[in-house]
Every structure is written in structure tokens, then in C-alpha cells.
Chains A and B, each alone.
Chain A
Amino acid sequence: MSSPHQAMLFRLAHFSLQLALRFWPAESRDWGNALAAELHEIEKPFEALRWTIGGLMLFSRASASHLLAWLKLPAGSRLSRDPLLPGTNPPILPKRSRLFTAALLAATVAVLLLPQSRIAISTVRATWRGFQLWDADRRTLDKLAARGEREKDARTLAFAALTHPDSAQSVRLAEKAVSLDPSFTWIYANRFYGLEDAPKPVEWLSQLHTFDPDNAFVYLAAADAIVQPRHMAILMHRTPAPGEFESAIAADPQWLAQMESAFRAPRYDNYLRKRWELICYEWDRDPAISPVLIGSSLWLRRIPNLQNVKTFTKIKIHRAQEALASGHPDEAESILQQVDGFAGRLSQRGEAYFERMTALDVSYQANEELRNLYSATGRTREASDASVRLQELESHRTHGYLPYLAETKTVRLEASLFQSSAILLFICGVLMALSFLLLEIRPFSRRRAAWQLFLCKTADFAPATFLILSCAFFASFLPIAHLFARYRSASISVDTFREIRGTLWGLVEVPSSVENILDPPLFWLLLTIALATLAAFLLFRLFTRPRTAPRATL
């Protein structure tokens, strides 16, 4: 072997041992130095390398035994402790060893790594962020989209298009999904309702009309596409006067034509069921998919601009009143029945609260006019039927949502329990981490300070509490997981949608309350009250503490 190679091997051997000596545990470093000193006596390079390898093995054994000895001590203690000075107290240390703590933490990690726990953690993450997408969720969506493109899976592409926060990406995915399977044309309206963000609104609307000509939702979308730009143009310059906007659009023949088609259309379908099928398809494929994606996908759906419906209802009722006044009661009745029919379809398939409430309002107005019409034309039986219908509608408006609250009460209680255990787990984790960090990094003083005692107690009890809370967290998620599984397999209906919404609201309820508590003014008020209470307690202790006799001094 050439001498440069030999020199390199010697240098490598020396460097490795010197590096190991820098990290060698103090209690056996002398032996490391002894082994390294012998290296200077070795003349053959491979012999030196063998000697070094043995030294590195000795180093790893010394480090392992050092680590084990360190783990057997409680947090905050050191292997080489300075001897106590006479008359000084030994430092306060936790009672449990680091090894015991590490074992508890390992058990906790095992619980938290269970598949259900991981879904529970991502659910907490989702709800604490109000179902806002994180970068990780965007990456998941990008991966889903890439998989959809690779497998030419129109459903996955449609799901990604409906949920992706990036408008341009969403458009691309939507067009890809529709080109693969035209039965997904509805996602244009569902993702880009009003099509204000759509790059090709005319083309898309035309596709929508061809795809679903009997659906009022498509015409409402087209009407909104006419209204939105005008509305925005006015709002950019000034606040419109009351009724100004309604008068402007009421004079627009294109808008009137689209609204007329919407009211005449035999169906109303806001595509929520189709959307839910897509969500369930992805959720079934990957039950551990982030609840952020499920929640945001559900929230992101569009409902029609109900102001258009209200405005057009007024126009129709006005027309009916004019027809009645000009002696055409049949025409007036036909107009009002058409309005009531539309309201019925909106109420039947409008799962959103606002859709149903608007439907009830529209129906109420139509039936009120019908009752007046029947009374005016002497049709007492029909007038009486209309009165009964009005009472029913009034009852629905007042009590229609009470059963929903009663049904979801249990779910919300379970969701609250789950969130409370998550919050407690989080607080316990933070306290535990802080106590260990402070105990380990702070050179312990001889003074028996109260805070030190608190840290030691926390270090002693927090790991076990953390384990118990993680089990509670896991257990409290099981009912929610059961609900999720049920929702995945359920076909969406008004009741299911309400229940899902109730569960999601229930999950967000506790974090929202905490957020409200941490709202600056309230937070400072609570902090002031807490500090004032503490000061009062300290003053009380100062005046009520029994006085001890002074110590005798030598």
C-alpha cells in the first residue's frame, strides 16, 4: 500500500478516536484516553484501524451504560453530583426515575399511534383550525389529484376539484374530471356557483343546461352569474340605496328569463347528495383521510343566492296581484301555485338551513296571497285549506328545527367530551414537557423553592396522567369514530345532513368556546381576577400564619 493511503488510514483512526473522546462519558473517559494513547505505538495501518474499531465499540458500550445509569435517576439529577456542603439541604428531585417516565411515555405514544388515535388527532387538528386546510392537506389533495389523473379516476378528480383551495388547480381538475366522465358536469355549478371564478362561464353554463335542463339549481346559477358582476360593480363604488339593486335586476330580461325557468323547472337539486357520494367514495378508500378534507369539502358547497329567489317571489306575487286586480283570478292563481310549487321543491331538497327557511317564507307568502284570492273570489273551502296550510307553515317556521337540536344533543355531548379530553391532554403534555425541560436544563439550586416542588410533583405525576388522558382521549373518540363510519355508509338525506352538521358543529363548539375565552379583553379580565385572587390569598396567609419563635443562635 502506498504511503499516502497509509497516512490517510492513520489519520482516520486518530480522528475517529479523538471525536469519540469528545463525547466519552466522564466516568470512563480515562479508559478511552488509555486506549487512544496506545494508537501511537501501532505501526501497521490496518492494525491501527482494528484498534480504533475496538475503541469505538468500547465507546458505544460506555455511552450505553452511561445512558442507562442516567435513565435510572430522576429528572434533574446528574451522575456526577457535587458533594453536599455541611448544613445544606439536598436538592428536591422527582421520585420517579427517567426510565419509569420513558416507559410511561412509550406506552402513551403506543396508544396515540393506534389507527383510531391518529384519526382522533387529525380530527382535533381539523376542528381546532375550524376545518381550514393546512399545507399537509393541500399536499394530500395534490396526491389525490395525481392519483386520479394517473388512474383516470373521474370521481377522485372531481373530489379534488371540489375541495382544492386553489381556484386554477380546481378548474383544471374539474375540466379533467368532466372530460373523463360528463356525468360530473354538475361540479361546475357546485364548486363555482355563480361562476364568478370560472374561466369559461358561458361554456360551462351551456354544458350545465345541456346536462341537467330540468333542474332549477342550474337556472339559479345562471341568474346569479348575471347578478354577481353587477352587484360587485355597484358595491365597488358605493352602497346601494334600499331596493335599488332589486329594481335594477327586476328590469333585466335575461335575469327574469333565468328565474322564470328556475321557478318552472320540475326539479330542484343542489347536488349535495352527489357531493356526499364523492366524499364517501374517498373516505371509504381511505378512512384515515384528514377530517379537514371531509369538513371543508362539505362546507365548501354552494347554495343558491337566495336573495334572487326572494326578489323574484316579490315580482311574481306583484304580478299575481295585478292579474287579480285586472280581473284574471285564474292567471293569478296559476302564478301563485307556481311559486308555491317551487318553494315545495326547494324545501324538499334544500338541506341547508337557509334554503329551507327561504322555501318556508316563499311558500308562506304564496299561500297568504292564495288565501286572499280565494276569499275575494268566494272560494271558501280553498280559502280554509290555505289557512290550514299557513298554520302548518308557521308551525314549521317556529318549531321545525327543534327536533334536530334534540337529536344531536347526545352527539354534541360526546363531541364535547372528546374535545375536553383533547384539551386536557394538550395542557398535560405542555405542563409535562415544561417541567422536564426546566428540571433538566436548570442547574438545581439547594433552595427548596415552591416552584421547584411544583415542578417535581408535575414530573412525578404528569406522565401517568398523560397516559390516562391519552386512553381517555382514545376512548372518547370511539363514539365519534362510530358516527363517522355510519355517515360514510349512509346515503345523504335532510336528516343525515343535519346530523353530520350537528356533529361537526359539536366538534367545533368547545374549541370555539376556548377561543372566545382567549379573546383578548376577556382573557385579560380573567387574568386580572386570577391575579387579584392570588394577591388576596397571599395577604390572608401573611396575616393568619402562626408566628414561629426566633431560632437560637450560637
Chain B
Amino acid sequence: MGVRLRSSRQTLDILEALLARPSHWHHGYAISRQTSVPSGTLYPILMRLDKLGWLETKWEESVPQGRPPRHLYRLTGNGREWAREELRSAQQREFWKPAASQA
């Protein structure tokens, strides 16, 4: 069965956060704080992006003693193109506004 991604406001917020520094690796908690999307919503969206091939993931390599390695995320090349298109389309439909304009 194919994986579908509904472009909800939370998805668009997450895409915006990932696109803010596209080549940078992001942590889950940092994305959650930035977008105010709770963990129960954030991770299913990340899992779908990953299944669609639009998200790159890796485990942290150098880990300080006493804590487990963290999972890191960034959009792939195709993912970035798709994300920009989605954000633009949502803005045109006035479905979603960038965080900067909301502030």
C-alpha cells in the first residue's frame, strides 16, 4: 500500500522548519520546539516523509557518555523541491502562513 501525506498545517510547519536550514541536520525535539508540534504528531509525519523518500535520517555519531545517540533529519534534494512547492501552494490558497509572517 502506498504512503500518502496530507499537507496539514503541522506538516507545513515542519517542512518550513526543515527548509529554514536545508543542509543542516535537525533533532526531533528542536523541530518540535520550533513548530510547537507535539511528539505524537511530529514523528508520524517524519516517518511518512522518510517512507516517501523525502527525508534523510542518520544517527548521531559522536555521543557524550551517559546518553543515547540522537536521530537526525534533513530533507533530500527531491524533498526540498516538493516541500517548497507545497508551501508555496498552501500560501497561495491562504491555507497556511509562514511562521515569520504570523509573528
Contact = CB atoms under 8 A, between A and B. Distances in A.
Contact of B40 (A30, A33, A58): A58
B5 to A, nearest CB: 15
Main secondary structure of the interface of B (DSSP, over half): helix
A42 interface: yes
Contacts of B69: 37
A54 B41 contact: yes
A38 B69 CA distance: 9
A288 interface: no
A57 interface: yes
A545 interface: no
B29 A41 contact: yes
B68 A54 contact: no
Interface stretch (B13-21, B42-50, B81-89, B93-101): B42-50
A58 B29 CA distance: 15
B71 A37 contact: yes
A17 to B, nearest CB: 10
B40 A38 contact: no
Contacts, number: 56
Interface string A23-67: 000001011011111101110000000110111111001000000
Nearest to B70: A37
Contacts of B46: 31
Contact of A38 (B41, B47, B70): B70
Nearest to B72: A34
B43 A41 contact: no
A54 B43 contact: yes
A54 B40 contact: yes
Contacts of B27: 38, 41
B53 interface: no
B3 to A, nearest CB: 12
A409 B40 CA distance: 68
B38 interface: yes
A50 B33 CA distance: 12
A36 B44 contact: no
Given A31-B47, A57-B40, A40 B28 contact: no
A41 B29 CA distance: 8
A36 B43 CA distance: 11
B44 A58 contact: yes
A72 to B, nearest CB: 10
B6 interface: no
Contact of A33 (B38, B39, B47, B68): B68
B44 A40 contact: no
Interface string B21-62: 000000111001000001111111011000000000000000
A61 B28 CA distance: 18
B40 A40 contact: no
A35 B43 contact: yes
B28 A34 contact: yes
| Chain A interface category by residue count | 20 to 34
A55 B39 contact: yes
B67 interface: yes
A50 B71 CA distance: 19
A51 B39 contact: yes
Query: Which residue, of B41, B43, B68, B69, has the highest number of chain A Cβ atoms within 10 A?
Result: B43
Interface string B68-81: 11110000000000
A51 B70 contact: no
Contacts of A57: 40
A40 B68 contact: yes
B73 to A, nearest CB: 9
A40 to B, nearest CB: 4
A58 B43 contact: yes
Contacts of A56: 40
Contacts of B40: 53-58
Contacts of A50: 38-39
Contacts of A33: 68, 71
Contacts of B42: 54
A57 B45 CA distance: 13
A41 B38 CA distance: 15
Contacts of B47: 28, 31
Contacts of B71: 30-31, 33-34, 37-38
Contacts of A42: 29
Contacts of A51: 29, 32, 38-39
Nearest to B64: A40
B67 A37 contact: yes
Given A40-B67, A41-B27, A34 B39 contact: no
A209 B29 CA distance: 91
Query: Which residue, of B32, B39, B46, has the highest number of chain A Cβ atoms within 10 A?
Result: B39
Contacts of B41: 54
A402 B29 CA distance: 89
The 9 closest A-B pairs by CB, nearest first: A54-B39, A34-B71, A54-B40, A57-B40, A38-B29, A40-B67, A37-B68, A54-B38, A37-B70
Interface of A: 28, 30-31, 33-38, 40-42, 50-51, 53-58, 61
30 contacts: A31-B43, A31-B46, A31-B47, A31-B71, A33-B71, A34-B71, A35-B28, A36-B68, A37-B67, A37-B68, A37-B69, A38-B27, A38-B28, A40-B67, A40-B68, A41-B29, A41-B70, A50-B38, A50-B39, A51-B29, A51-B32, A51-B38, A54-B40, A54-B41, A54-B42, A55-B40, A55-B43, A57-B40, A58-B39, A58-B44
Given A35-B39, A41-B29, 18 more contacts: A28-B47, A31-B47, A33-B71, A35-B28, A35-B43, A36-B68, A37-B71, A38-B39, A40-B68, A51-B29, A51-B32, A51-B39, A53-B40, A54-B40, A54-B42, A54-B43, A55-B43, A61-B44
